[in-house]
């Protein structure tokens, strides 16, 4: 894999520069948003900003190879927890950051109603669809940009599903939405913390965020691995000499796409210190951008 050392080092340099550039862009957008709200008193960003924001959101997902159906299939088969750990980091850190900013800004977000029928049935349909297709709704478009032709069928399926839902919504609203609808329930409310209180909201986000960050820090990537192979220990520099790789996936990736970045192929298919540290950079970029 490293027969051409110069090419490999160039690939490593490209991934490193891209990762730090994405983090810098995400921080710039976040600070720009705070400036808009606190100084200019503008609570809504211009619509065209969505196009700009989509780029640093999509690139980390592509670098993590989440647009490859095989990545999701490994997760569904309980062979790889990489996606679980990354999402735990993003959601945990994102919750703390979002509600921390909410203390002195006015982000536009709302709490969805807990309607049991729709949540259960919708969750089952969504999970089965993702498991069969190998794509999330967002990763479909990344896959299309990469030239994955199978993503076309996932797009068609998604559009047909949306069309079907629009046709039956009037009938389905009663049994799925109005029945067993408990309104916008939140964890702080269950423990007696007023959700309208911004400090209470922030406290709740800290508890929730820490729980998910603990999953990221102490859940080993591959099953039957010792806990010292989890990201938390790798970030502390423990086990530098141990690198565990998903070699079958690496060989398959290089066989399908021989011209892709060789360093990146190694990075996303291993459990190691450098893998954990790159996850932190890209995960922070993705999370900060999403909050921004």
DSSP 96-153: HHHHHHTTTS-----PPP-BHHHHHHHHHHHHHHHHHH---HHHHHHHHHHT-TTHHH
How high is the pLDDT of residue 101? 92
Structure tokens at 177: 């939405």
Structure tokens at 144: 């299309």
* Closest alpha carbon to 132 in 185, 83, 69: 69
Structural domain includes residue 212: yes
Tell whether 93 and 238 lie within a shared domain: yes
Tell whether 22 and 153 lie within a shared domain: no
Structural domain includes residue 161: yes
Q: Which helix (DSSP H) or strand (DSSP E) does residue 134 occupy?
A: none
Tell whether 69 and 161 lie within a shared domain: no
> 3-class DSSP state for residue 232?
helix
DSSP string, 252-284: HHHHH-TTS-HHHHHHHTEESHHHHHHHHHHHH
- Domain containing 225 equals 5-108+195-291
Tell whether 14 and 158 lie within a shared domain: no
Tell whether 9 and 98 lie within a shared domain: yes
Q: Structure pTM?
A: 0.82
Tell whether 199 and 279 lie within a shared domain: yes
* Closest alpha carbon to 147 in 285, 265, 262, 260: 260
Helix axis angle, 137-146 relative to 49-63, nearest 10°? 80
Structural domain includes residue 82: yes
How high is the pLDDT of residue 288? 92
* Closest alpha carbon to 28 in 56, 51, 48, 47: 56
* Closest alpha carbon to 85 in 229, 188, 203: 229
Tell whether 142 and 248 lie within a shared domain: no
Tell whether 22 and 140 lie within a shared domain: no
Tell whether 156 and 64 lie within a shared domain: no
Q: Which residue has the tokens 């029945």?
A: 179
Around Cβ 277, how many Cβ atoms within 10 Å?
A: 15
Domain count, the chain: 2
Tell whether 126 and 69 lie within a shared domain: no
**Whole-number Å distance between alpha carbons of 280 and 215:** 14
* Closest alpha carbon to 280 in 139, 53, 85: 85
* Cα torsion angle, 14, 151, 285, 92, sign: negative
Structural domain includes residue 190: no
Of the three residues 162, 185, 208, the one that is the final residue of a domain is 185
> 3-class DSSP state for residue 244?
strand
Q: How many Cα neighbours within 13 Å face the side chain of 153? A: 9
Of the three residues 185, 214, 246, the one that is the final residue of a domain is 185
How high is the pLDDT of residue 1? 46
Of the three residues 160, 185, 210, the one that is the final residue of a domain is 185
Tell whether 286 and 211 lie within a shared domain: yes
Tell whether 73 and 125 lie within a shared domain: no
In tens digits, the chain (292 residues) has pLDDT values of 445 778 888 888 988 998 999 999 999 989 988 998 889 888 877 888 877 788 778 888 888 888 888 888 888 888 888 888 888 899 999 999 999 998 888 877 777 888 888 888 888 988 888 888 888 888 888 888 888 888 898 888 888 988 998 898 888 888 888 888 888 887 777 777 766 778 888 888 898 899 999 988 998 888 888 888 888 888 888 877 778 888 877 888 788 778 888 888 888 888 888 888 888 898 899 999 988 8
> 3-class DSSP state for residue 243?
coil
């Amino acid at each position: 894999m490293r027969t051409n050392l110069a090419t490999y080092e160039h690939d490593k340099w490209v991934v490193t520069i891209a990762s730090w550039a994405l983090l810098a862009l995400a921080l710039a957008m976040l600070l720009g948003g705070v400036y808009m709200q606190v100084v200019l008193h503008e609570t809504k960003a211009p619509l065209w900003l969505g196009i700009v924001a989509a780029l640093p959101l999509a690139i980390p997902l592509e670098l993590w190879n989440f647009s490859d159906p095989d990545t999701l299939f490994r997760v569904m088969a309980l062979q790889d927890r990489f996606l679980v750990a990354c999402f735990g980091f993003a959601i945990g850190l994102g919750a703390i950051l979002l509600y921390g900013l909410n203390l002195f800004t006015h982000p536009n977000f709302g709490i969805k109603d807990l309607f049991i029928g729709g949540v259960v049935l919708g969750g089952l349909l969504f999970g089965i669809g993702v498991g069969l297709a190998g794509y999330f709704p967002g990763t479909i478009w990344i896959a299309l940009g990469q030239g994955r032709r199978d993503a076309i069928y996932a797009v068609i399926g998604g559009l047909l599903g949306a069309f079907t839902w629009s046709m039956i919504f009037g009938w389905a609203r009663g049994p799925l939405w109005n029945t067993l609808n408990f309104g916008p329930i939140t964890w702080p409310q269950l423990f007696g913390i007023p959700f309208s209180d911004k400090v209470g909201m922030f406290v709740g986000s800290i508890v929730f965020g820490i729980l998910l960050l603990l999953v990221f820090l102490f859940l080993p990537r591959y099953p039957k691995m010792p806990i010292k192979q989890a990201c938390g220990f790798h970030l502390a520099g423990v086990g530098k000499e141990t690198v565990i790789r998903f070699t079958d996936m690496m060989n398959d990736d290089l066989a399908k796409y021989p011209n892709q970045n060789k360093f990146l192929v190694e990075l996303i298919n291993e459990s190691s210190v450098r893998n954990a540290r790159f996850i932190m950079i890209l995960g922070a970029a993705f999370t900060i951008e999403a909050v921004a």
